[in-house]
Amino acid sequence: MVSTIRENRSRFFKVKCPDCENEQTVFEKASTVVKCVVCGRDLATPTGGKASFKAEIVQELK
Residue 3 falls within a domain, yes or no? no
Residue 4 falls within a domain, yes or no? no
Q: For residue 14, which of 40, 34, 41, 39 has the smallest C-alpha distance?
A: 34
pTM of the complete model beyond 0.75: yes
Residue 38 falls within a domain, yes or no? yes
We report the CATH number of the domain holding residue 38 as 2.20.25.100
Number of domains in the chain: 1
Query: Which residues of the chain form beta strands (DSSP E)?
Result: 12-16, 23-27, 34-35, 42-45, 52-53, 56-61
Q: What is the pLDDT of residues 8-61, one digit of tens each?
A: 788 999 999 999 999 999 999 999 999 999 999 999 999 999 999 999 999 999
Residue 40 falls within a domain, yes or no? yes
Q: Which domain holds residue 41?
A: 12-61
Instruction: Give yes or no for a contact between 14 and 61, defined as CB atoms under 8 angstroms apart.
Output: yes
Residue 5 falls within a domain, yes or no? no
Residue 7 falls within a domain, yes or no? no
